[in-house]
Structure 1
Amino acid sequence: MSRRAPKASIDPDARKSWLRRALPLVKAHRGLLITSLVLSFLGLIVQVQIPNLVRIGIDKAIVEHSGRLATYVWAIVGLALGQGLINYLARLYLLRTAYELEYDLRNIVYAHLVRMPFGFYDRVQSGELMSRSGSDIRAVQMYLSFGPSILVQCLIAVVAFVLMLSINVPLAIVAMVTMPIIGVLGVSMRKAIFPVSWLIQARLARLATVVDENIQGVRIVKAFAAEGRQLRSLAESADRIRWAYQQDARIRSRWNPVLDNLPRLGLALVLIVGGILVIDGHTTIGTIVAFNSYVLMLQPPFRLLGMMIMMGQRASASARRIYEILDTPSDVVDDPQAVAPRLRGDLAFADVSFAYPNGTVALDHLNLTLRAGETVAVVGGTGSGKSTLGRLAARFYDVSGGAVTIDGIDVRKIELSSLRSQVGIVPDEPFLFSLSIHDNIAYGRPDAARAEVIDAAEAAGAAEFIEELPEGYDSVVGERGYTLSGGQRQRIAIARALLMNPPILVLDDATSAIDVTVEQRIHGSLKSRMRGRTTLIVAHRLSTISLADRVILMAAGRVIADGTHESLLASEPRYGEVLASAEAPPDPDPGAAAGELSGAERVVRR
C-alpha cells in the first residue's frame, strides 16, 4: 500500500492556542466528522422521542383507555431499532475520523523528525521522542475526534429541555435547575487537572526513556551486572508516575461524584414538584414518568462532560509537547537556490571551525583539500576531529565558520538528498535494520537487483559469511544486527555504501572490528573500488593507512602534518606516537565469529 501524505498540517503560528493550531487538520477530515456528528444528533432526536411516546402511551392507553397500548409499544420498538442503526453508522464514521487524524498526526511528527539534523538528536532523548510520537499523539487524537462527538451527545440536554418545556414549563425549569452548578464545577475541575495532566505526560516520557535505554543497552547492563540498579531506576520513575496519577485520581474523586450526582438531585426535585402537580391536577402521571426518563438522560452527558474536560486538559498538555518538537526548526535545510549537480569529488575544507551542540570544539580553522579520485587517510588521537570531517562533508551538521565545498560548491548550496546520495559514509559502529541482509545492503537503493547486491557484498568481503547463513541474503538480522558479529555488521555497512557507488566515500574506522586477515582481503577489493573515487579514511591500523595516497595527521581540530606514511614517520614524531598508541589491544568481542576474533585485532576506539 502506498503511503498517503497528510491532508493538512499543524498551523505554524505559535501564538495561537493549541486547538486553533490543530484546526486545519480537523477541517481536512470535516466530511467524515460532520457525517458522524449529524448522525449522532439524529440519534439523539430519536432517543428523546421515546420518553414522550411512553408519556402519551401511559396517559392515553393506560389512564384514559383511549388508545391501543400495542401501538405505542411497537412505535417505541421501531424508534429503538432506528436509533441503534443510526448510532452504529455514527460510531463507524467517528472511528474512521479518529484513525485518519492519528495517521496524519503521526506522519506530520515523523516527517519533521526526519528533517531534524544530528544536533537535535544529540540533545533530545529517544524515549522522549517515542512518548511524544505515541501517547501524546493518541491524547490529541482522542480529543479532536471524540470531543466534538461528546459535545453533540451533550446536546441531548438541550433537546430534552425543549421537549420538557413543550410538556410542562414549571417542571422543566425544576429539572434543569442544577445545570449552572455543573457548569461552575466543570470550569473549576479543568483548572485543577491541567498541571497534573502535563506532569503525567512528562513523567511517562521519562519512563519511556529509561525503558528504551535499558532495552537498547541490555548487553552493557548485563555485562556490568547492573540489573538491580537499573530496576531501581525504573522503579523510581514508576513511583513518580504513580504519584502523579494519584494526584489525578484525587482530583477526579473530588469532582466526578458531584458531577455525576447532580442530575439525581434534579430527579428528586422532579418527583417532589411533579407529585404535587399531579395531586393538584396540573399534570399527569405519564408526564412524571417521561420527565424521570429525561432527567436520567441528562446524567450520561454530564459524565461525558467531565470526561471531556479531563481529555481536553490531557490533550492540551500533549499538544504543547508535540508542538515543542514541531516548533523546533531544523538548522540544516535546503537553500532556496540549492542545486543538484553530479559531483566529481573535489572535497575542500576552507578555514572550517565547528563545535558540537554541547559546546565541544571539534575543528579549529582547519584547512584540508582532497582532489577528486584521491584516497586520504586521517590519523589522530582521541578528540582530534577526525570523524567530524565526514559528518560535515555529508552536512549532518553545518560548520560554525568557514566552508566545506565539493567541486567548488559550498555543500550548503547543494540539495541535501543529492549531496547525501553522493557522499557515502560507513561509521565504525554501523546500524542495521531488522530486515533481510539483502534489504540492509540495498537500503540506499531499494530497487537494486540481487546481482548488484551480491557484487557489493563481495567487494566488502561479506559474501562468504552471508552465503553460509541458512537463508543467505534473505536471512533477517536481529534488532540492530546483533545476531551478527561486529565485523560482519561492518562489512554489510561497507557493502551498503558501495552499492550506492558514491563519488565520495568516507570510511570512519569502518574495519575496526574486522580480523586483520579478513581486512587484508577486503582491502584488495576496495583498492579497485576506490579508483576514481575520492575516499576519506579515518584510520588507526597500518594496513588501512596503506590504502591511502597520503596521510593527514590531526590534533586539536587542526591539520598538523600532511604527507605520505613514510615521510611522516621520518619527519613527524607525533605521527609515530599516534600509531604506537593504536597498538593497545581491545577487549574481546563476545559476538565475534570464528576467524574474526576481536582479541586478535589491534583497534583504537575513539
Structure 2
Amino acid sequence: MTPGAPAAPERSASTTSVLLRLLQWGRPALPRIVLGGLTALGASLLALAVPQVLRAVVNGPLLTDGSRVAVVEAAGLVLLLGVIEAFLVWCRRALILTPGTGVELAMRRDLFGRLLDLPVEFHDRWSGGQLLSRSMGDLSVIRRWMVFGVVMLCVSATTVVVGVGLMIATAPLLGVVYVLGAVPMIWLGFRFRQDYKAVARRARDQAGDLATVVEESVHGIRVLKAFGRGEDALEDFVRQADALRTTEVAKARTQSRVTFALGAIPEAILALSLAIGVPLAAAGRLSVGALVAFFATAAIVNAPVERLGQLLAMTLDARAATERFVQVIDTVPTVRDPEVPRALPPRPEHGSRVELLDVRFAHPARGRAVRPPEILTGVDLVLEPGTTTALVGLTGSGKTTLLQLVPRLYDVTAGAVRLDGVDVRDLTRAELRAAVSVAFEEPILFSASVRENVLMGVPDDLPAAEAQALLDRSLDVARAGFARELPDGLDTVIGEEGLSLSGGQRQRVALARAIAVRPRVLLLDDPLSALDVTTEAAVTARLREELTGTTTLVVAHRPSTVALADRVAVLEDGRITAVGTHTDLLATHAHYRYVLTALEAQDDELAAVDRERREQALAGREDEERVVDEVADESAEVAR
C-alpha cells in the first residue's frame, strides 16, 4: 500500500484493456498517430526490400554476366529506397509529436479539473506528492508511449512477421530454424511481462511517495530549521530514495535479462543458420543470392526483435501510469451537484437564515470495517438573519467541522443544512459557495498578487472601478492596508502560500478575501488568532459595522472573539447544549464557564509568549544599539 494514497484496487484487466482507456483522450490525435505509424511501417518495409534487391544482384549480374550497368542500377535503387525510408521516418516524427503533446495537455487538464471537483475528504486521504507525480511524471510516461512506444511496438511486430515470412520464402529450412528459435523468446516475453508489471507499479508509487517527502519538507522548512531536524528529514528522504533506487535497479535487471536474451538468441540462431546454410549453398541446394538475402533480412529483423524488450518495458510502464491516472479520474465525488438543482430565493434585505437540523457527521470509513464515531451527534442551530453567532466548545469538539458543513466542504451524514429554506444539497456548489464565504484560521494564500488573492471570489466581469472599490473596502475592514506599502503595492506577488507575509498579515488578507465576495453568510474560523490585541479590537469594530445584513458564524478559539457575536452557541458532546448571550450563558451554563476559563488560560499563555518575544526583540535592539554606540566611540577615538 502506498503511504500517500489509498491502495490501488486489485485489477484483473489485461494490459490492452487498461491502455484502451487512453482512447478517451487520444481519439482526436488518433488519425495522425495512425498515419505516423503507417509511415513508420512503410519505412520498415522499404528496409526489408533492400535484401531482395541484393538477392537479385547476386544471383544476376554478379554471378552471371557481371554487368556493371545492372550493379549500378541496383545500387541506385538501394540508395533511392534509403532516401525514401529516411523521409518516412521524418514524417513519422512530424505527424506524431505535436498531437502527442496535445493528448498530454488534455489529460493533465482533466486530471486537475477532477482534483478541483473532488471533495475535501478525498484530499484528506491523498498526499500532494502522489497527485503531483500523477499529473507530471505519469502523464509524461503515457505521452512517450503514445508517440513512440505503441507505434514502434506495432511496427516492430509487423516487421518481424513480414521479415520472417520473407526469410521462409527465401530459404525455407533456415526460416524454420529461425521460427523455432522464437519459441524461447515468446516464453521469456511472457515471464518478463509478469515480473515487470508489479515492479513498474511499485516504482511509480514510490516516486509519488518521494515527491511527498520533498513537498512536505519544503513547506515545513521553517519547522525543520527551527527544531534542527534537517538531518532527520534528510535521512527519511535518503531512505525512501534508496527504496526507489532499489526498485529501479530491479526494473533494470528484469529488463536487462530479457534484452540480453532477445539479443543473444537471434544471434545464436543466425550462427546456427550460417552453419546450415553454407553447406546448402555449396551443394547447390540454396542459391548464394538467397543466402545473402536471408542473412540481410535477418539482420534487419533482429533490430526490432532486440528492441522488443525496451518496447515491452515502456508499455508496462505506461500501463502502471495509466492505472494510477484513472484511479483518480474514476473516483466518484461524494459531494456532487444535484441532477435537478434548485435556486436560492432573492437575497433577503436583512440577511439570510441558516438552519442546521439534527445534523450528524462522521468521517468516511476509508476502507475500515467500522465507521469512525460521529463527531456531531444531532446539532440543531438556527442562525437568524443578519446576526453574528459565536460557536464555542472545547478543542476537538467539532466546531470547525460544523462550520465546513454549511458550504458543503463535507456533506452531513444525516440531517440537513438549509440556507433561506433551501437544503444546501439541492443547490449547485457554485451557487452555494458564491453565497457562503469562509475565512479559515490557517489562511492559505496563493502565489499571486495581493489584488488577485483578495478578489479571488469576485466575478471576473465586475467593472474595474467597482472591483477596485471592493478591494479597497475589504482591505480597510480587515486592517490590511499594509499591502499598499509592499514593494509593488497591491500588485506585489506574495510568494507560495503567502509565506513572505507574517501570520497576522496573512490572516488579514484572507479575511479581506472572505469579505470581498459580499456573501449572504460569512463563516469565520477564528480568523484573528494571529493578531495582537490592539489590531484585533480594531478589526472587530470594523467587522461589526460591515456585517450588518450578513449572517455570520464565528468559531471562537479565544474569549476575545466572542465579543464579535450577538449570540453564543455552546457545542458539547456533538450537540448544541445552549444558545444565548454571553452574559446569560455565564450565569446559567456551567460548561460554557468551564470552556471560557480554558480559553482564557490558553489566551493568557499565548499573551505571555507574545510579551516574552516582544521583550526579547526589544532587548536585542537595545544590545544592537549599544554595540553601534561602542563602535562609534571607538571610531571617534581612532580619529582623534
Give CA deviations for 1:552-580 in whole Å, capped at 9, x if unaligned.
22222222222122222333343333333
* Aligned 8 A contact 1:551 1:562 in 2: yes
The secondary structure found in structure 2 opposite 1:178 is: helix
Residue 510 (structure 1) shift: 0.7
Q: Structure 1 runs of 4+ off > 6 angstroms?
A: 13-16
Aligned twin of 1:477: 494
1:460 to 473, 478, 493: 478
Taking the TM superposition and a 5 Å limit, the aligned residue runs for 1:178-197 are 178-197=181-200
| Separation of aligned partners in 2, 1:157 and 1:266 | 15
Identity value in percent: 33
Residue 310 (structure 1) shift: 2.0
User: Mean alpha-carbon deviation: is it higher for 390-399 or for 352-361?
Assistant: 352-361
Aligned twin of 2:39: 39
Aligned twin of 1:552: 569
* Aligned 8 A contact 2:160 2:305 in 1: no
Residue 176 (structure 1) shift: 3.9
Check 1:388–1:407 CA distance in 2 against 1; reply closer, same or farther (3 A cut): same
| Separation of aligned partners in 2, 1:300 and 1:372 | 77
1:511 to 503, 510, 528: 528
Check 1:496–1:170 CA distance in 2 against 1; reply closer, same or farther (3 A cut): same
The secondary structure found in structure 2 opposite 1:361 is: coil
Aligned twin of 1:571: 588
Residue 67 (structure 1) shift: 4.1
Residue 418 (structure 1) shift: 0.7
Give CA deviations for 1:470-526 in whole Å, capped at 9, x if unaligned.
101111112111000111111111121222111111111011112222222223332
* Aligned 8 A contact 1:432 1:489 in 2: yes
| Separation of aligned partners in 1, 2:326 and 2:112 | 13
Aligned twin of 2:621: none
* Aligned 8 A contact 1:122 1:357 in 2: no
| Separation of aligned partners in 1, 2:572 and 2:161 | 77
| Separation of aligned partners in 1, 2:218 and 2:413 | 35
Residue 286 (structure 1) shift: 4.0
| Separation of aligned partners in 2, 1:316 and 1:82 | 34
Aligned twin of 1:89: 91
Residue 404 (structure 1) shift: 0.7
Structure 2 residue runs without a partner (length 5+): 1-10, 366-371, 619-640
| Separation of aligned partners in 2, 1:281 and 1:549 | 110
* Aligned 8 A contact 1:164 1:291 in 2: yes
Check 1:15–1:280 CA distance in 2 against 1; reply closer, same or farther (3 A cut): closer
Check 1:419–1:258 CA distance in 2 against 1; reply closer, same or farther (3 A cut): same
* Counterpart amino acid of residue 360 in structure 2: S
Give CA deviations for 1:419-442 in whole Å, capped at 9, x if unaligned.
011100000111111111111112
2:206 to 191, 203, 208: 203
Residue 541 (structure 1) shift: 4.4
Aligned twin of 1:334: 337
Aligned twin of 1:416: 429
* Aligned 8 A contact 2:406 2:424 in 1: yes
Check 1:202–1:542 CA distance in 2 against 1; reply closer, same or farther (3 A cut): closer
Structure 1 residue runs without a partner (length 5+): 1-12, 598-606
Check 1:588–1:319 CA distance in 2 against 1; reply closer, same or farther (3 A cut): farther
With structure 2 as the length reference, what TM-score do the two structures score? 0.84
| Separation of aligned partners in 2, 1:589 and 1:126 | 33
* Aligned 8 A contact 1:266 1:295 in 2: no
* Aligned 8 A contact 1:98 1:141 in 2: yes
Taking the TM superposition and a 5 Å limit, the aligned residue runs for 1:251-266 are 251-266=254-269
Aligned twin of 2:519: 502
Does 2:308 correspond to 1:305?
Answer: yes
2:391 to 369, 378, 388: 378
Alignment coverage as a number of residue pairs: 582
| Separation of aligned partners in 2, 1:575 and 1:14 | 57
Check 1:534–1:593 CA distance in 2 against 1; reply closer, same or farther (3 A cut): farther
The secondary structure found in structure 1 opposite 2:501 is: coil
Check 1:193–1:446 CA distance in 2 against 1; reply closer, same or farther (3 A cut): same
The secondary structure found in structure 1 opposite 2:445 is: coil
* Counterpart amino acid of residue 67 in structure 2: S
* Counterpart amino acid of residue 129 in structure 1: L
Aligned twin of 2:635: none
User: Mean alpha-carbon deviation: is it higher for 102-111 or for 13-22?
Assistant: 13-22
* Aligned 8 A contact 1:175 1:269 in 2: no
Does 2:408 correspond to 1:395?
Answer: yes
Aligned twin of 1:352: 359
With structure 1 as the length reference, what TM-score do the two structures score? 0.89
* Aligned 8 A contact 1:177 1:266 in 2: no
Give CA deviations for 1:251-306 in whole Å, capped at 9, x if unaligned.
23332211112221232233223322332234444443332221111222112221
| Separation of aligned partners in 1, 2:151 and 2:610 | 58
* Counterpart amino acid of residue 117 in structure 1: P
Check 1:360–1:119 CA distance in 2 against 1; reply closer, same or farther (3 A cut): farther
